[in-house]
Amino acid sequence: MTPGELQKWLKTEESKGVGQDSGDGEAIGHKSGSHIVTIKNKRKDDLSVGDYDHMNKVIGYIRRHTAQKPKSDSKYSDWRYSLMNWGHDPCKDMTCD
């Protein structure tokens, strides 16, 4: 997802309604999405070690979670919404029913 797409998505109720609470009322994935937007808006030379560490965490999450695709109704599922919070819309890459 582009930074603009992700930023727009993070404002939706669907985005805010999925994921494990980070302890402050915001889901871990939703918080990650905000961090991803910040990282994607940086110039490559301005990226920190922490930014690279976070993106490695994002890649791992997306790989694990993508493998757990539900058998049906994935288009409007918490599975998809959670992945979108992490900056990946699986319906762009595969067929969602």
Residue 13 falls in which region: left (phi positive, over 0), alpha (psi -120 to 50) or beta: alpha
Name the DSSP letter for residue 20.
-
Flag residues of the chain having pLDDT under 50: none
| pLDDT for res 73 | 81
Place of tokens 């690279």: 52
One-letter amino acid of 23: G
| pLDDT for res 96 | 77
| pLDDT for res 64 | 96
